[in-house]
C-alpha cells in the first residue's frame, strides 16, 4: 500500500524584502554555463521522484541518454531572474517545459490559442479544441497562474540546444518565437535571453517511479537561464517557476516535475494532467508576494457575491465584469459587481452575452464574457468576428453533417482495403474509408462532406472537380507541384509514359480543379493539411497548401478554402473487398471542404466530383472511390488506373447539366413535337425528366407546361 505524504517537496520561501543573493554576490558574478555557483545559495526544491525518462550515465557535457530534474536554484537581482534546473536533458530532443508566474493574469489551465511556438507544442498541451470535456488542458496548482513559457531541447551531431518562448495572456494570443541555439557548456545569447546546458551529471535520481526523498540533492549541473525582468513583464511581487520534462511532441509528460511528485509513474497525456489533484505544490517560489491582487486569484471573493476587496476568483467572470465596471477591480467587488456578474457570468446564472458592445467583443484584450467563456470560439463565416458575438453559429466547416446538405449524393458499396477505424476519436483514425458524399452549392461556395475516416498516417483523400469547359480527362505530366509533386506522381511516368500513362477518368469527366487532404500525428499532435491546384487542359496552373490545422473546427486559408475533419466514425463499411450495398449509409462525419466558386471558375452548369483514398506517397489507390466500385481490391499504382475501364461512374454529380428550358427534353434548343412524343411516352409514370411540374407523376399538368413553352428556348 502506498504511503500518503502531506509534504512531498523542499521549498525555500524567502520574504519579499530579502534579496536572493549571498553576501557580496550579484547577477554580474554568475557565469551562465550550466553549473551552480555560490550566488545561488540553497536550492528552492529537490527532486524526490525516480525518473521514468531514463537515468543518464554518459558523463559528458553535451550528450545524455536520460532526462531528470534533480533540483532548482534561483535568485533575482535588480533586473534579471537567474535559475538553474539541475540534472540532464536527453539528447533525443525531449523537451524541458518551463512556466513562470510573474505578474497579474495568466492561465491556470492552458488554452489552445496561444502563440504557435516549438511546432505548436504549447497549444498541444492546452484544451483540446475538439474534445474539451475529456482533454481540458494542462492545469496547474491553485495559486500558480503562469504568464510566460520557455522550452528547450537538444540533440544532433554536433550537439545543439534550442530555445523557444511565448507569452501566456489570460485570453490567449500573445507573442512568441524562436530564441536561438548553440552548443553545450557555453553561454548562448538568444535575443534577450542567456542560457546554457551541462549534461555531465551521473548522480541524482535513478530510473524508475519510486519515492526517493532528496534523491536529487547534490547535483550542481544542468540547464541555466538568465531572463530579464522587462522580457517577462515582472515588476515585483510573487515570482514562481514550474518545470517538467516532456517528450519531443509535447504529448507525454514525464514524472520529472519541480517540485517533485513523491513517487509516481510518468504522467502521460498533458491535456489531462491536473497538478491540483497531486499532493504538494508542483512549482517553486523564487520571490514571495501579496495574494488576492488579480482576477482569478483563489483567495479573492466569490464573483457571485459582493465583498469589500477588488477582484473575484473566476478569471473569466472577473475580467468580464471589470470590462464593464473597472471599479470592481480597482476599488471593491461590491453588490453592484455581483449583480453585473449575475447577467454576464455563466457560473452566476448569466448568459454568454457580451459585456460591452458587439464591436468590442473579444477584441479589447479583456474577457467580454460571450465567446471566450469556453475558450472555443468559432468563426464559421470567416468574417473575423466570433460567431457567438453575433448571437448565432453560422454554417460551420467542422467535418460533421449539417441539414443544408440534404440527402447523400453517393453511398459506398465496397468494403475498405485501407482498414476499418474503430478508435472513435475526432482526430486520430486507424483506417480509411469513404462512406458517402454530401454536397451542395450556394451563391458563393461549393460545400463537400465526404463521410468516413482518413487514417492519421497521412493517407490522402484525392478530390478532382469537373466544373467548367476544358480540363484533363487523363492527368498530364506538367501540373503544378503541390504536396511533394502529388499530381506528377499520379500523371504519366516520365521514364516510360506508355507503360504508366497516368490516371485517367471516366468518359465525360474532365478534371479542372484538384484538392487533397491528409493528416497525422505531427509535432503538434494531430496536424491536418490541405493542398489544391488548378488543372488547365495543357498543364501548368497554380497551386498551394494550408495547414497545419485542427480536427473538428474550421481551418480557413487565405484563398477562402475552409477545411476540417471529424474522424469519430466507427460504422460504415467493414474491412475487406466485398460488395456491401449501401454499406456506407448513415455515416455523417468525415472530411469537409468549402471552396469559393470564384476560385474554381465555376459560373454554372454541370459540376462533377471524383474522390478516392490514396497512400501518403500518392502511389497506391485504395478501393474507396466516389462513386463506388461495386466490390474489389485496391487499384494500386494510379498511373495504371483508368476509371473508364471500370463499370459505372467513378464520380458523382453535384449539379446536373440541365437544358436552358426544362421542356426541351432532347436538348435541341426548342420545345416541339419530339419533346411532346417523349412526354407522351412517359405518361403516367414518375420519370423526373418529364415530371416538369414536380407533382410526382407525368400527366396533364406537365402537358400544359410543354404546350405553354412551345417553340425555341429563350
Answer whether the bond into residue 373 is a cis peptide, omega within 30°: no
166-223 per-position pLDDT tens digit: 999 998 898 999 999 999 999 999 888 999 999 999 999 999 999 999 899 999 999 9
Residue 384 contacts by C-beta under 8 Å, 6 or more apart in sequence? none
The three-class DSSP label of residue 295 is coil
* Phi then psi dihedrals of residue 28, to 5 deg: -65, -20
SS3 content of the chain, % helix, strand, coil (to 5): 10, 30, 60
Which residues on adjacent β-strands are paired with residue 529? 518
Q: Which of 236, 249, 239, 204 is nearest to 222 (CA)?
A: 204
What pLDDT, on the 0 to 100 scale, is given for residue 133?
87
CA 17/CA 73 separation, integer angstroms: 19
329-359 per-position pLDDT tens digit: 777 788 888 888 887 776 787 654 443 333 3
Q: Are 512 and 466 in contact (CB under 8 A)?
A: yes
Residue 351 contacts by C-beta under 8 Å, 6 or more apart in sequence? 343
87 vs 32, 61, 81, 185, 247, CA distance in Å? 16, 12, 20, 14, 16
110-138 per-position pLDDT tens digit: 999 999 999 999 999 999 988 888 899 99
* Phi then psi dihedrals of residue 409, to 5 deg: -85, -30
Rounded to 5 degrees, what angle do the CA atoms 560, 564, 568 make? Answer: 165
Instruction: Match 507503360 to its residue by C-alpha cell.
Output: 499
Of 250-254, 571-575, 691-695, the range with the lowest mean pLDDT is 691-695
pLDDT(299) > 60: yes
Q: Are 111 and 137 in contact (CB under 8 A)?
A: yes
Q: Would you place residue 87 in the very low, low, confident or very high pLDDT band (cuts 50, 70, 90)? A: very high
CA within 13 Å, CB half, 323: 25
Q: Are 709 and 679 in contact (CB under 8 A)?
A: no
44-73 per-position pLDDT tens digit: 999 999 999 999 999 999 999 999 999 999
Q: Which of 468, 140, 477, 104 is nearest to 310 (CA)?
A: 104
Average model confidence (pLDDT) for the chain? 86
pLDDT(5) > 70: no
What pLDDT, on the 0 to 100 scale, is given for residue 523?
61
Q: Which of 68, 66, 120 is nearest to 249 (CA)?
A: 120
Mean pLDDT of 577-583: 95
C-alpha cell of 359? 464591436
pLDDT(305) > 60: yes
What pLDDT, on the 0 to 100 scale, is given for residue 443?
85
Q: Are 636 and 621 in contact (CB under 8 A)?
A: yes
253-290 per-position pLDDT tens digit: 999 999 899 999 999 999 999 999 998 899 999 988 65
**pTM score:** 0.48
pLDDT(472) > 80: yes
CA 617/CA 690 separation, integer angstroms: 47
Mean pLDDT of 653-677: 80
CA within 13 Å, CB half, 441: 20
Q: Are 246 and 97 in contact (CB under 8 A)?
A: yes
* Phi then psi dihedrals of residue 487, to 5 deg: -65, -35
Q: Are 410 and 626 in contact (CB under 8 A)?
A: yes
The larger pLDDT score, comparing residue 388 to residue 13, is at 388
Instruction: Match 467572470 to its residue by C-alpha cell.
Output: 317
Amino acid at each position: 500500500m502506498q504511503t500518503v505524504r502531506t509534504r512531498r517537496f523542499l521549498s525555500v520561501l524567502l520574504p519579499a524584502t530579502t534579496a536572493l543573493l549571498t553576501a557580496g554576490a550579484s547577477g554580474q558574478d554568475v557565469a551562465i554555463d550550466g553549473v551552480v555557483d555560490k550566488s545561488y545559495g540553497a536550492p528552492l526544491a529537490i527532486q524526490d521522484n525516480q525518473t521514468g525518462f531514463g537515468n543518464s550515465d554518459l558523463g559528458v557535457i553535451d550528450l545524455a541518454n536520460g532526462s531528470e530534474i534533480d533540483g532548482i536554484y534561483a535568485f533575482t537581482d535588480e533586473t534579471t531572474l537567474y535559475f538553474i534546473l539541475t540534472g540532464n536533458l536527453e539528447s533525443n530532443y525531449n523537451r524541458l517545459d518551463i512556466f513562470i508566474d510573474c505578474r497579474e493574469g495568466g492561465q491556470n489551465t492552458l488554452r489552445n490559442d496561444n502563440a504557435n511556438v516549438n511546432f505548436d507544442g504549447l497549444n498541444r498541451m492546452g484544451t483540446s479544441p475538439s474534445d474539451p470535456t475529456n482533454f481540458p488542458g494542462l492545469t496547474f496548482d491553485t495559486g500558480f497562474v503562469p504568464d510566460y513559457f520557455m522550452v528547450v531541447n537538444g540533440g544532433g551531431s554536433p550537439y545543439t540546444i534550442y530555445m523557444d518562448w511565448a507569452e501566456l495572456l489570460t485570453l490567449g494570443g500573445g507573442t512568441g518565437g524562436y530564441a536561438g541555439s548553440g552548443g553545450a557548456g557555453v553561454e548562448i545569447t538568444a535575443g534577450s535571453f542567456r542560457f546554457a546546458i551541462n549534461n555531465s551529471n551521473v548522480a541524482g535520481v535513478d530510473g524508475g517511479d519510486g519515492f526517493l526523498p532528496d534523491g536529487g540533492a547534490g547535483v550542481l549541473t544542468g540547464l541555466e537561464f538568465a531572463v530579464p525582468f522587462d522580457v517577462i513583464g515582472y515588476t515585483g511581487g510573487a515570482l514562481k517557476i514550474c518545470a517538467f520534462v516532456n517528450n519531443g511532441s509535447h504529448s507525454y509528460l514525464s514524472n520529472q516535475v519541480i517540485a517533485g511528485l513523491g513517487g509516481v509513474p510518468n504522467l502521460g497525456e498533458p491535456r489531462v494532467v491536473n497538478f491540483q489533484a497531486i499532493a504538494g505544490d508542483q512549482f517553486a517560489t523564487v520571490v514571495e508576494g501579496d495574494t488576492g491582487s488579480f482576477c482569478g486569484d483563489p483567495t479573492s471573493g466569490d464573483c457571485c457575491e459582493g465583498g469589500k476587496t477588488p477582484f473575484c476568483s473566476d478569471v473569466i467572470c472577473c475580467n468580464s465584469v471589470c470590462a464593464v465596471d473597472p471599479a470592481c477591480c480597482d476599488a471593491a467587488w461590491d453588490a453592484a459587481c455581483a449583480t453585473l456578474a449575475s447577467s454576464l457570468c455563466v457560473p452566476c446564472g448569466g448568459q454568454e452575452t457580451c459585456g460591452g458592445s458587439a464591436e468590442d467583443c473579444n477584441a479589447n484584450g479583456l474577457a467580454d464574457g460571450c465567446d471566450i467563456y469556453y475558450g472555443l470560439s468559432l468563426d464559421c463565416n470567416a468574417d473575423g468576428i466570433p460567431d457567438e458575438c453575433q448571437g448565432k453559429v453560422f454554417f460551420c466547416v467542422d467535418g460533421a453533417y449539417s441539414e443544408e446538405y440534404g440527402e447523400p449524393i453517393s453511398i459506398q458499396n465496397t468494403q475498405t482495403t485501407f482498414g476499418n477505424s474503430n478508435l472513435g476519436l475526432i482526430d486520430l483514425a486507424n483506417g480509411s474509408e469513404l462512406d458517402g458524399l454530401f454536397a451542395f452549392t450556394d451563391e458563393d461556395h461549393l460545400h463537400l462532406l465526404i463521410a468516413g475516416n482518413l487514417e492519421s498516417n497521412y493517407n490522402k483523400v484525392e478530390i478532382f472537380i469537373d466544373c467548367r469547359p476544358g480540363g484533363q480527362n487523363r492527368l498530364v505530366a506538367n501540373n503544378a507541384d503541390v504536396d511533394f509533386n502529388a499530381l506528377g506522381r499520379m500523371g504519366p511516368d516520365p521514364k516510360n509514359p506508355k507503360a504508366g500513362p497516368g490516371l485517367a477518368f471516366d468518359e465525360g469527366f474532365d478534371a479542372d480543379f484538384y484538392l487533397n487532404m491528409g493528416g497525422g500525428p505531427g509535432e503538434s499532435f494531430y496536424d491536418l493539411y490541405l493542398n489544391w491546384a488548378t488543372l488547365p487542359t495543357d498543364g501548368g496552373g497554380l497551386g498551394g497548401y494550408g495547414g497545419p490545422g485542427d480536427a473538428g473546427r474550421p481551418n480557413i486559408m487565405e484563398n477562402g478554402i475552409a477545411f476540417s475533419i471529424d474522424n469519430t466514425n466507427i460504422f460504415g463499411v467493414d474491412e475487406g473487398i466485398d460488395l456491401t450495398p449501401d454499406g456506407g449509409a448513415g455515416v455523417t462525419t468525415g472530411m469537409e471542404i468549402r471552396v469559393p466558386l470564384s476560385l474554381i471558375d465555376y459560373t454554372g452548369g454541370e459540376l462533377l466530383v471524383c474522390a478516392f483514398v490514396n497512400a501518403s506517397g500518392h502511389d497506391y489507390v485504395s478501393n474507396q472511390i466516389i462513386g463506388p466500385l461495386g466490390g474489389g481490391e485496391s487499384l494500386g499504382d494510379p498511373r495504371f488506373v483508368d476509371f473508364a475501364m471500370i463499370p459505372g461512374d467513378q464520380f458523382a454529380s453535384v449539379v446536373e447539366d440541365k437544358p436552358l428550358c426544362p421542356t426541351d427534353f432532347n436538348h435541341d434548343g426548342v420545345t416541339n413535337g419530339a419533346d411532346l412524343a417523349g412526354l407522351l411516352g412517359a405518361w403516367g409514370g414518375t420519370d423526373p425528366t418529364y415530371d416538369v411540374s414536380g407533382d410526382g407523376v407525368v400527366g396533364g399538368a406537365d402537358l400544359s407546361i410543354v404546350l405553354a413553352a412551345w417553340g425555341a428556348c429563350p
